[in-house]
């Protein structure tokens, strides 16, 4: 289940970024980091984003 949640939260980050809600996008990245499934696509894509947003 963790793998699916990681991908879903990264997808939500992309969605909220596209639709102009940066706070919800940040929340989605925080949730990706909480799930911490290092091999997941969403997690590896979220790490640079989290660093850019100052979440790491």
Extents of the domains making up the chain? 2-53
Residue 25: what pLDDT?
97
Distances (CA, A) of 46 to 15, 22, 51: 14, 14, 9
pTM equals: 0.88
* Residues contacting residue 16 through CB under 8 Å, at least 6 positions apart: 22, 24, 25, 28
Residue 19: what pLDDT?
97
Residue 2: what pLDDT?
80
Distances (CA, A) of 7 to 4, 30, 48: 5, 13, 15
Span 2-49, pLDDT tens digits: 888 999 999 999 999 999 999 999 999 999 998 877 888 999 999 999
Residue 40: what pLDDT?
86
Residue 47: what pLDDT?
94
């Amino acid at each position: 289940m963790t793998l699916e949640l990681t991908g879903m939260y990264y997808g939500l980050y992309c969605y909220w970024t596209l639709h102009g809600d940066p706070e919800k996008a940040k929340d989605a990245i925080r949730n990706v980091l909480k799930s911490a499934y290092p091999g997941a696509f969403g997690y590896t894509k979220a790490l640079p984003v989290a660093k850019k947003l100052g979440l790491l």
